Amino acid sequence: MELIIPAEISEEAFKLLANYETLGIWNVKEESGSHIVRVLTTVEQTETISDELTDHFSHQDGFRIMLFAVEATLPLPEKEEEKEPEEPRENEVEETPGRISREELYTDLSEGAKWSGTFVTTVILSSVVAAIGLMRSDVVLIIGAMVIAPLLGPNVAMAFAATLGDVSLAVKSLKANLLGFLTAVLVSLFIGWIFHINPNVPEMMSRTQISWGDIVIALAAGSAGVLAFTRGVPAAVIGVMVAVALLPPLVNFGLLAGSGYGTLAIGALLLTLMNITCVNLAGVVTFIVQGIHPRQWWEAEKAKKATRYAIIFWFSLLLVFVIFIYFNW
């Protein structure tokens, strides 16, 4: 963490920092009297420290916090010896459960939910590759399309917005999702209209029906997508898993609909909708388990209500699909 601390609050700020067990603090005093302070700390403490400093000094002109991910530090930090659990003390530091801070998450997901020319282009390319892979029943091509597809960011951002009760981020991510899905459908519709489609190809036929396994895969994909951001797992790798649940059945729907296979296309569309439901439900639940919540108490009340509504909405939709599978299994 890099802190810009004005001279008039420096003494109080250093007292607050002294309450935390950091790996190192370096202070550079400028001619103006302000301080540039670098704090090396664990991922788990970042959110707690930044929240307390923000609560005390966010109104102060010139105060700023900047967060940087450290790839490595030498010499290596010494491992603490395991201590017997003690009773909680007053003002004890509450650490986040092995995840990056809320602010880092917001920045990453807000960037991932942006729709632009590049976003549309990558959706088009991934849809074309997926369509060819489905028509040829080529698993390698389908996986390649999922690596390209930028579907991870907008979907995880939508679950994150529901967890925080952030309307602006929810609208932003919803627009990106709709644009991505609409683009993929239009591209696959066009390909299905031009080329001869054989619906009996295994990779296409397998994505025209809903099964219990599809629910498990989609729930796992949603949870993995969230963990990709909160735990620092490479997003491109986990993005493939999210794309497994979203891109192939969506493109399959477009191909079948474009070729006039209405009944099979409806099956592919239902599979896509069920996967969207599972990904978002699992995403919201995983964010809650990770301890994501707004910084201010009045925002927390709004977030709890938004989260409750989101879970009820997605769970109700999932229940509809479960009933559908049960009577058609």
Would you state the pLDDT for residue 242? 62
Which amino acid, 29? Answer: K
Q: Are 291 and 224 in contact (CB under 8 A)?
A: no
pLDDT at 245: 72
- pLDDT at residue 226 in the model: 82
Rounded Cα distance between 220 and 237, Å, is 14
CA dihedral sign, ordered 55, 226, 115, 271: negative
Q: Helix H segments across the chain?
A: 10-17, 43-57, 102-112, 117-136, 139-148, 152-164, 167-194, 202-205, 212-230, 235-258, 262-289, 297-328
Distance CA 238, CA 231 (A): 12
Contacts of 45 (CB under 8 A, 6+ apart): 20, 22, 93, 95, 96
User: What is residue 93's predicted lDDT score, i.e. its pLDDT?
Assistant: 46
- Cα separation of 266 and 108, whole Å? 35
**DSSP structural state of residue 231:** S
pTM above 0.85, yes or no: no
Query: Would you state the pLDDT for residue 22?
Result: 86
Which residue ranges form the domains of the chain, and what is each CATH number?
Answer: 2-66 (3.30.70.120), 102-328 (1.20.1080)
Q: What is the DSSP string of 54-72?
A: HHHHTTSTT-EEE----S-
The pLDDT assigned to 172 comes to 92
pLDDT in tens, the chain (329 residues): 899 999 888 889 888 888 888 888 898 988 888 899 999 988 878 888 888 888 888 888 889 999 887 878 877 777 655 545 455 444 444 555 567 777 888 887 888 788 888 889 989 998 999 999 999 988 888 877 777 767 778 888 899 998 888 888 999 999 999 999 999 999 999 999 999 889 999 989 988 888 898 898 888 888 887 887 787 665 555 555 566 678 889 999 999 999 999 999 999 999 999 989 998 999 999 998 888 877 665 567 788 888 999 999 999 999 999 998 888 76
What are the tokens at 128? 């074309």
